[in-house]
Amino acid sequence: MSDFFQGTAPLKYDPEAEGLAFRHYNPDELVQGKRMEDHLRFAVAYWHSFAWPGGDPFGGQTFDRPWWGETMEGARLKAEIAFEMFEILGVPFFCWHDADIRPEGATFDESKRNFDEIIALFEEKMESSKTRLLWGTANLFSHRRFMSGAATNPDPDVFAWSAATVKNCLDATHRLNGENYVLWGGREGYETLLNTDLGQEMDHMGRFLSMVVEYKHKIGFKGQILIEPKPQEPTKHQYDYDVATVYGFLQRFGLEKEVKVNIEQGHAILAGHSFEHELAMARELGILGSIDMNRNDYQSGWDTDQFPNNVPEVALAYYEILKAGGLQKGGTNFDAKLRRQSLDPSDLIAAHAGAMDVCARGLKAAARMLEDGALETARRARYAGWETPEAQAMLTSDLDTIARRVAGGGINPEPRSGQQEKLENIVNRYV
């Protein structure tokens, strides 16, 4: 054991604890007949927790970490400490971007060797750890070669570099039995339409994604391929704007049965949607894959990636997820970073522990709302008129026929209360 976390013992569930413990997250507690751990499927994001230096657009690194510096020695130490944290938190999953686990090499091949060595180290550590891989992904946005995009770069060599990188990352995800592979278009978009060929870029992106799906089948990877919607930042516009946009894109390239979405709260907010909207939309379109749990400040127009802290909001998210039958192969990845003033290793533990409790409370509240049934009963009652044969027949009818029924005073619809406040009161009984 390193002394990074100063001997912090694995956290226990203890609702009455004074000190560090889970007050609400009890992995073995059954919720709707399933263990809480199996519902929530928590994952730690390697990037935010171990590679982000605490910078922002107006200032640089604030965190001091013993593994800083682009060396293999640092990368190995980082991995050691990451697995120590996984054990302290008892999380069943983690997630990585290639660039946060290995130093960048001078060449593609050197980067790959660095990467492969760390993957081998992960493989070794995972033999004795309960923590598995939720997903891997390729960081195709940080290095300057990707400044104009990866799959959508005007330079075909960057497309090639990106394709080769994704191949390696997908291979490694497969090797580590990852349950998903994520594509996150950090720079698949544009800064200005003035220099952009929108049609060509979207075509390249569609073809790139198809190749990934083809390769997944070729190597027998059974995990889900996921796209993570985001509307903007760093670019002015990102092609994977939101769930509905991604769905249209997938249909256009015939991929709507092959690819699902990894939905992030913060990205939903930036796109002008609530998190629960994006989850419900994905569920109804059949592409709900996994979630990136965090919280965006509603009043900051950039991606703040805070740890979730508002139980009522989180409850509404898990409500939509439970209605979808749960997360399946997906999980709850904390795509969240410490505030840059939260310098201490203990902040890292506290932030995750608090977030896990918030999610546990949200899940339990969501389950109770479903069990109570008042919300779903009210919803069904509101649409009950559609269950009559006449109403159903109308859906296979035509405008003429319907118009004849309306003419002559056949109907005169009267509005009925939507009862929003009463439904909100019901929610407040459980959160």
User: What residues are designated binding site for Mg(2+)?
Assistant: 228, 264, 267, 292, 303, 305, 335
Residues 247-276 that bind a copy of itself (CB under 8 A): 247-249, 251-252, 269, 271-274, 276
* Burial track 125-145 (b if 16+ CB lie within 10 A, e otherwise): ebeebebbbbbbbbbbbbeee
Q: Which residues pair with 56 in a beta bridge?
A: 59
**389 Cβ contact partners less than 8 Å away, ≥ 6 residues apart:** none
Tokens of 367: 């389950």
Residues 87-126 that bind a copy of itself (CB under 8 A): 107-109, 112
Tell me if 153 sits within 8 A of 162, measured CB to CB.
Answer: yes
> Could you give the maximum distance between any two Cα atoms of the chain, in Å?
83
In the complex, minimum distance from the CB of residue 267 to a copy of itself, in angstroms, rounded to a whole number = 12
Among the listed residues 100, 240, 242, 357, the single catalytic one is 100
Q: Residue 126 or residue 343: which is nearer to a copy of itself going by CB? A: 343
User: Minimal CA–CA distance to 159: which of 145, 169, 144?
Assistant: 145
325 contributes a contact to a copy of itself by CB under 8 A: no
User: Minimal CA–CA distance to 93: which of 178, 170, 27?
Assistant: 178
Whether 97 is a known active-site residue: answer yes
**Within 10 Å of residue 254's Cβ, how many Cβ atoms?**
11
Strand 288-293 and strand 332-334: the pairing is: parallel
Whether 217 is a known active-site residue: answer no
159 contributes a contact to a copy of itself by CB under 8 A: yes
217 contributes a contact to a copy of itself by CB under 8 A: no
Residues 28-47 that bind a copy of itself (CB under 8 A): none
Tokens of 217: 């089948």
- 33 DSSP assignment: T
Per-residue x/- track, 160-189, a copy of itself (CB under 8 A): xx-xx-xxx-x---------------xx--
66 contributes a contact to a copy of itself by CB under 8 A: no
**Within 10 Å of residue 120's Cβ, how many Cβ atoms?**
13
Distance of CA 105 to the CA centre of its chain: 28
Q: Residue 127 or residue 157: which is nearer to a copy of itself going by CB? A: 157
Residues 291-320 that bind a copy of itself (CB under 8 A): 297-303, 307, 309-313, 316, 320
In the complex, minimum distance from the CB of residue 338 to a copy of itself, in angstroms, rounded to a whole number = 7
Residues 228-247 that bind a copy of itself (CB under 8 A): 231-234, 236-237, 241-242, 244-245, 247
* Binding residue (CB under 8 A) for a copy of itself from 357, 362, 364, 367: 357
By annotation, the residues acting in catalysis are 97, 100
